[in-house]
Amino acid sequence: MSQFAGWLAQRYRNNRRLTEYEIVADVRKFDSSTMAPLDQGIIYLDDDCIEYVDRHFLYRGWAAMWGGVVLGLVFAFVLAIVYATLEMHAEGKSVSPEMTVTVGVLGVLLLGFVVFTYWMLLGRDIFRYQYYPIRFDRREMKIHIFTGGRGGIVSAPWSGVRFIIGTDKPTGPNDGVTYDLRGLVMDGDKVVHTFAIGSDSGSNPGITLAHWEMIRRFMEEGRSELPFPPLQLYTSVEPTFRNAFIIHVSSAGSGLMWIALPLTLPWAVFRFLAMKLCRKPVWPASVLRHGSSTTSGMPPLRAPVVYGRVNRAGGRADEMERFWKESIAAAKSRNDEVRSRLQQSSITA
């Protein structure tokens, strides 16, 4: 499925030149200045910094769930072989050399399959980081991308990153295209690092433009130009089962929640387990040296403890809901226009 691109499928390619699609999909070639900025995964904001989760944060647990299913089937198969062997011994039958060879070959194949499953699924979800934040530093006009591993972070100047409406080829004939906001760190005319910011926009490229407008307006015009209030942060990064349940079970909506429960509830359980088996990302001191800035008089906004929990005092939640409905509808109204322009390229990323 294309929503897993860059994580479980269709890995991002670096050390290359821009594709035709990426040239056409540059967000600065679209006029987003009249759009209402949309929050697609902000977890922190002050006068000098805005921070997002990575694109795959909301999908975490999926790889662990299917990896667990595969390993469960392998374990069941091994138990079946052991049981059959014990039964033969109990009946006084000996194991033939041919059967020994067959079991040995199967064992090697199963071991290889287990290693492959960990590499492609389990290892992408557990013993890693709970999320991979992207921080936009307005004071320094830099972008910091948390990557974990040996490098830790990738930092680039604001002017050295090309932002595009990202998309990928569907992996199946019935899969739709999923759009996201993607950053390409450039070294001259060469792409050296690729990252995706915040939640994807599903099948709505117009929402990706509104997502970009939030970042552009903050970096180029300042926090005072953002819609706060009424907008409040709703994305929580706390690794609790309650948040896992809200993200994967409750997000299906009251109409589909019970129908989707056989899939979404195990997904929520595996998300919770995956989060508990991962580390919390920590920025190095060089990134955090400025601390929180409140020169505008507005306090920093931080991610809530419970996903989606907003301040309802004074009707703020109602104001936020109205803002979201109107802004999302306006963004979706540009879908056809954006898709038409993206189709000028015959090459997809």
DSSP 223-251: GGGS-TTT----------HHHHHHHHTGG
Widest Cα–Cα separation across the chain: 85
Exposure string of 123-157, with b = 16+ CB inside 10 Å and e = fewer, is ebbbebbbbbbbbbbbebebbbbbbeeeeebbbbe
pLDDT in tens, 231-281: 789 999 999 999 999 999 987 776 778 888 989 999 999 999 999 999 999
Contact in structure between 5 and 168 (CB atoms under 8 Å): yes
**pLDDT of 122 above 60:** yes
pTM: 0.88
Q: Kindly state the average pLDDT of the residues 303-321.
A: 87
Which residue has better confidence, 3 or 331? 331
CA distance 288 to 49: 10
Omega into 229 within 30° of 0, i.e. cis? yes
Whether the per-residue pLDDT at 347 is higher than 50: the answer is no
